[in-house]
Structure 1
Amino acid sequence: MENILFLGSVLIFLSILMTKASHKLGIPTLLLFLFLGMIFGSDGLGLHFYSVEQAQFIGIVALSIILFSGGMDTQIKQIKPVLAQGVLLSTFGVVFTTVFTGLFIFCLFQLDIIPITLTLATSFLLAATMSSTDSASVFNLLRSQQMELKANLRPMLELESGSNDPIAYMLTIALIQYIVDPETISGFGVFLRFLVQFIVGIGFGILSGFGMVKLLNTINLKNTMLYPLLLLVLVFITSTATVYFNGNGYLAVYLAGIIFGNSKCKFRREINTFMDGVTWLFQIVMFLVLGLLVNPHEMWQVAVFALVIGIFMMFVSRPLSVFICLFPFKGMSNKAKLFVSWVGLRGAVPIIFATYPMVAGVDYSNQLFNMVFFITLVSLIFQGMTISRSAVYFDLKDENEIIEKSFDVELSEDINSVLKEELVRNDLAGKKLSEIKMKQGMLVMLIKRDMKYLIPNGSTILLEGDKLLIIEETNEKSGKE
């Protein structure tokens, strides 16, 4: 037990240090976690981990936390304009990607040069495991790179990645059941199961979200740090209870996160800090475990076929699905649609879904897992490392960049005001604060200049690069500003 604790701590320690190198080199952080797991794995330094069931369990727990945390950071007022686009991509987009990719895989594996032959159902199963964009990868990349995009693309991409896992999961489970025992499943049965999963998932998500807010606002705990711990427990209860009643737990926790994040709640600062830390921890653990699970020497045996499939998904099936789903929205440019196609990142979710065929004993399930893992690596390397440059190339990067948070200050939920941070640019540099025209109800509270904090007055002269902490009155009585 001491060895396990020591090695686990070393892996997490190295992963945290690697995040610093990730930002400097422009390499997706989660990709480095996967590589670190592979380096320490059976083909590397010899750390053996073969339990598919344990990896699957860790993945389910991690995804529940990641999706809830992602929902908390999703503002309803931002996703409203792109709600229809996001829902179409997360539902029909997943189905179209599965169909196009599945047909290509089936035709590819009919060639005589390939040693194995996949049936049509198994081809669709392989495609279904990879059909959703990975929420952990998309959330991590867009937020760690502080990327603000034009045309509301960022909330649309986050909405898609946060809500498309249920469809991919249901397709994967239905296809496994059909392959293992085709007589127990029918087309109507699949449709009915999809319907139940969605209705129950949405119902539990909404009820849980409002229930969490009500409970945390009314319960009186003497230790404030128990509030975020209570919330974490409620996330797990929501996920497991939803599954118990045949609903989709991923959808439920994501919806609950959106409702909770857009509602007023006590001790918001402590909760956000705790959830951010827990989310990072489980992202690291999940990607490390998946890296340990794979045997690279087996993965290279299917690397060529996996590369062909990955290229097809990046340049054919994903763009085709995106353009079909977004066809009704004439106001959206082709450049924006191409960028959305390129952000079809694969990550931990496809790898976790690829463990389900292994547990069920599907033929060639080991090869399927290795192909999914290799395709994920290809996606994170080629797509993950070029997202920022792609946004610049398509002229979709907003000039008003997200300002890195400089003031560790938050207001009580009972105060009808919000805090904003503004960066002083060339047009304001050299002016006195009293010369700056500001809306009524706005006040500059603090100025951060280099590493110093200044208490301003009307005669304070602003310099380029100063960061202003501004308080602004708002008439909103509810919701998250």
Structure 2
Amino acid sequence: MLAGEEGVGRLDFDNPNLAFFVGNLALAVILLDGGMQTKTSTFRVALWPSLSLATLGVVFTTASVGAFAAWILDVKLIYGLLLGAIVGSTDAAAVFSLLRNSGVQLNERVGGTLEIESGANDPMAILLVVMLTGLLQSSDSLSLWAFLGQMIQQFAVGGVLGLLGGKLLLMVLRRVPLIEGLYALLIISCGLATFSGVNMIGGSGFLAVYLVGLMVGNGRIKQQDAISQVMDGLAWLAQAGMFLLLGLLVTPSSLLIHGWQAVAIAAFLIFIARPVAVILCLLPFDFRWPERFYISWVGLRGAVPIVLALYPVIAGLSNSELLFEITFTVVLISLLLQGSTVPHVARWLKIIVPSAPAPTTRFSLINDVDAHRSLELYEFLVQAEGIRIPASIVQNVPSATLSTPQLVSLVRDGRPIIVNAETVLMPLDRIWMLLHPGDVNDVAQIFSQPASSSFLLQNFFGEFVIRGDASLIDLAKVYGVPLDGIDAEDTAAALLQRQLGQHLVVGDRVRFGNIRLTIRQMDGNRVESIGLKLLNKQL
């Protein structure tokens, strides 16, 4: 905006068609990168809630914001509904970037729901905008069956071709040798080709390109880390370029003409429409109230609504400039108000979980669909003091069949160190190990800060760790909890499932008498370990 016609740059840019074209390509790149960073494991707990928000949530937001906008702007209801459809979907670029750079770790249920929703709700918003724009251009009436037919077509064609395109691209990446830097360009090219092709035959290109990224990101390819770094850079470049053009397109002084109405619409969307839509859509699912409130707060509006606002401008509709200006203001308010408070609200609602120990670097050596037959080289940063590498690892003889983790090197102050069973590790040492991907979490625990000396982990999970299949009767006897209603076969994991539902995630917790049980580690749907905290103990 500062570079535009009323800013210091004095650049006169008035080409909505070019901005629309660049915006769509940029969004495709951002969704492709977002899909690559989304883990399919989150679908276990977040798929159906996300789809509910991406469909029914968008429709409800469109209707409520549309009615309010038509009243406050004194325009026909159909123009209000068009504005509601434009701002009805959350923005994938904003959600992906802010959640992953906020410095907080959300539990899998909340983070997965927000990310999958933002990647899946664009087709519904686009369909509503296109249909309402078409109605304003003609005298035809809205047909519910035509709308449902187009919605099913968008999701079906986009979903099927996106999955097929992702599988095909994954096969190419595994079989075609290229210079390392070209793999990301190949992914971008194939992703944009899928996006364009699906759009041409009436499907949702945005959904398709997101699924292509999802398939590639969760496939086992050697160049995964290098590709991710390049893709992140390209996604940021696309986002910056898109916002630059959109900022040039707007005239700042025109935003003030209907400024107070835009602020009122933004407030209605943020504090009423989005929260009500989230509460209604998540009623059938096992979400705690703080989680519902946070999902409603992180309904970030970004570049997607601004690009959608160009549809009526390109179509030459009356009031199109008004819709664009209102949309731009709503997006600015959403990003400044909601975007700047993402980590603070998460801490306030207490829905964050401590980050799990993880390697700092990894290189894939042998790729296989089965993680136990794959082989990767990992670097771990030592955080604890006075620990030794387990003797089973130090004394293990390298072999073709890797049964236990193998030590490759210990680097201290930039120099390799000879390691034996007596070697004491120091903080900031770097350990290089050869592992199966399935063993990474267990090995990372060895070099991380022990829970007993970490106040954050101790305060969150508790002082003790028990197995998920620990007997509930034994726990009750040890900690003085009444035995009423406890069966002999009851376990700690069963108690959590009974009170919280089947889809559990790390960080879920229940109270059991004078103790609190918090899930510490999951293996798929099975609770591996649980943290136990004494509630009457002063820390």
| Partner in structure 2 of residue 15 of structure 1 | none
Could you list the per-position Cα deviations for residues 310-343 of structure 1 after superposition, in whole angstroms to 9, with x for gaps in the alignment?
11111110000000011012x3110010000100
Q: What is the match of residue 355 of structure 1?
A: 310
- 2:46 corresponds to 1:82: yes
Q: Which residue number in structure 1 is paired with residue 83 of structure 2? A: 126
Q: 1:133 to 1:392 in 2, by over 3 A?
A: same
For residue 92 of structure 2, what is the aligned residue in structure 1?
135
| Offset at residue 51 of structure 1 (A) | 0.5
Give 1:413's aligned residue.
367
Structure 2 residue aligned with 1:302:
258
Report the counterpart of residue 242 of structure 2 in structure 1. Answer: 286
What letter is aligned with 1:413? N
Match of 1:326 in 2: 282
1:185 deviation in Å? 5.1
1:461 corresponding residue in structure 2? 424
Task: Tell me what 2:71 maps to.
Answer: 107
Give 1:69 shift.
Answer: 1.0
Q: Match of 2:20, SS?
A: helix
Contact 2:159–2:211 at 8 Å: present in 1 too? yes
Among 167, 188, 193, the alignment partner of 2:124 is: 167
Distance 1:379 1:455, change over 3 A: farther
Structure 1 79/437 Cα, relative in aligned 2: closer, same or farther at 3 Å? farther
CA contact (8 A) 1:86 1:160 kept: yes
CA deviation profile, 1:414-437 (whole Å, cap 9, x unmatched): 561356666655xx4233334899
- What's the CA shift for 1:408? 6.5
User: Which region of structure 1 is more displaced relative to structure 2, 73-82 or 334-343?
Assistant: 73-82
**Equivalent residue runs for 1:172-191 within 5 Å:** 172-183=129-140, 186-191=143-148
Q: Is 1:50 aligned with 2:14?
A: yes
Q: 2:465 matched to which residue of 1?
A: none
So what's the TM-score if we normalise by structure 2? 0.73
Q: Does 1:473 align with 2:436?
A: yes
**Quick check: which has more Rg, 1 or 2?**
2
Q: Given that residues 127 and 151 in structure 2 are in contact (C-alpha distance below 8 angstroms), is that contact kept between their aligned partners in structure 1?
A: yes
> Highest relative contact order (Cα 8 Å, sep 6+), 1 or 2?
1
The one-letter code sitting in structure 2 at the alignment partner of 1:305 is Q
Partner of residue 188, structure 2? 232
Q: Conserved in 2, the CA contact under 8 Å of 1:416 and 1:475?
A: no
How many pairs does the alignment contain? 427
Q: Which amino acid aligns with 1:252?
A: A
Q: Comparing 181-190 with 128-137, which one deviates more in the overlay?
A: 181-190
In the other structure, the counterpart of 2:517 is none
Asked whether 1:394 is paired with 2:349, we answer yes
Relative to structure 1, the CA distance from residue 312 to residue 472 in structure 2 (aligned partners, 3 Å threshold; closer, same or farther) is same
Q: Residues 452 and 376 from structure 1, CA distance in 2 versus in 1: closer, same or farther, beyond 3 angstroms?
A: farther
CA distance in 2, matches of 1:254, 1:129: 20
Q: Secondary structure at the match of 1:400?
A: coil
In structure 2, distance between residues paired with 1:96 and 1:286: 28
Q: Which one-letter code corresponds to 1:170 in the other structure? A: L
Amino acid at match of 1:210: K
> What secondary structure, in the 3-state scheme, does the structure 2 residue paired with 1:152 have?
helix
Read off the aligned partner of 1:307 and give its amino acid letter: V
Partner SS for 2:326: helix
SS at the partner of 1:371? Answer: helix
Structure having the higher helix fraction is 1
CA change 1:401–1:267 in 2 (3 A) is closer
In structure 2, the residue matched to 1:28 is none
Contact 1:64–1:253 (CA<8 Å) still a contact in 2? yes
Say if 1:436 and 1:129 are closer, same or farther in 2 by CA, change over 3 A: farther
Q: Confirm or deny that 1:60 pairs with 2:14.
A: no
Q: Secondary structure at the match of 1:142?
A: helix
What RMSD in Å do the two structures reach over aligned CA positions? 2.7
Question: SS at the partner of 2:309?
Answer: helix
> In structure 1, what is the Cα distance between the partners aligned to 2:43 and 2:236?
24
Change beyond 3 A, Cα 1:364–1:447: farther
- Distance (Å, rounded) in 2 between the aligned partners of 1:80 and 1:461: 41
Deviations 1:338-370 (A, max 9, x none): 000100001000110011110111211111111
Counterpart of 2:38, as a letter, is T
Instruction: Rate the CA distance shift 1:470–1:335 in 2: closer, same or farther, 3 A.
Output: farther
Amino acid at match of 2:313: M
Cα deviation code 1:80-133 (max 9, x no counterpart): 221111111111111111111111112223xxxxxxx31111101001111111
Higher relative strand content? 2
How much does 1:453 deviate? 6.5
Letter in 2 for 1:104: F
Which whole-Å CA distance do the structure 1 matches of 2:82 and 2:258 have between them?
A: 17
Does the 8 A contact of 2:363 with 2:376 survive in 1?
A: no
Contact 1:358-1:366 within 8 A present in 2 as well: yes
- CA distance in 2 between counterparts of 1:422 and 1:220 reads 29
Q: What is the CA–CA distance in structure 2 between the aligned matches of 1:379 and 1:402, rounded to whole Å?
A: 33
Give aligned-pair identity as a percent: 34
1:91 pairs, out of 55, 73, 77, with 55
The match for 2:292 among 328, 337, 343 is: 337
SS of 1:301's partner is coil
* Range with bigger deviation, 261-270 or 407-416: 407-416
CA distance in 1, matches of 2:379, 2:113: 24
Provide the secondary structure at the position in 1 that maps to 2:317: coil
**Contact 1:101–1:124 under 8 Å retained in 2:** yes
Q: CA deviation at 1:407?
A: 3.3
Relative to structure 1, the CA distance from residue 242 to residue 424 in structure 2 (aligned partners, 3 Å threshold; closer, same or farther) is same
Pick closer, same or farther for the CA change 1:468–1:127 going to 2, 3 Å: farther
Partner of 1:40: helix, strand, or coil? coil
Note the alpha carbon deviations across 1:40-75, whole angstroms, 9 max, x for none. 111112112111010000111001111111111111
Equivalent AA in structure 1 for residue 223 of structure 2: F
CA contact (8 A) 2:385 2:426 kept: yes
- Check 1:58–1:175 CA distance in 2 against 1; reply closer, same or farther (3 A cut): same
Q: 2:3 aligns with which of 40, 47, 57?
A: 40
State which of 203, 208, 211 in structure 1 corresponds to 2:165.
Answer: 208
Partner of 1:70: 34
Structure 1: gaps (5+ residues): 1-37, 110-116
Give the letter aligned to residue 35 of structure 2.
G
Paired letter, 1:346 = R
Match of 1:198 among 142, 155, 160: 155
Offset at residue 454 of structure 1 (A): 5.4
Describe the superposition over 1:9-48 as per-residue Cα deviations: whole angstroms up to 9, x where unpaired: xxxxxxxxxxxxxxxxxxxxxxxxxxxxx11111112112
- Whether the 8 Å contact between 1:445 and 1:456 is mirrored in structure 2 is no
Give the conservation status (yes or no) of the 8 Å contact 2:166–2:213: yes
CA deviation map 1:369-421 (0-9, x unaligned): 11111111111111000000011000111122686x74364444256135666
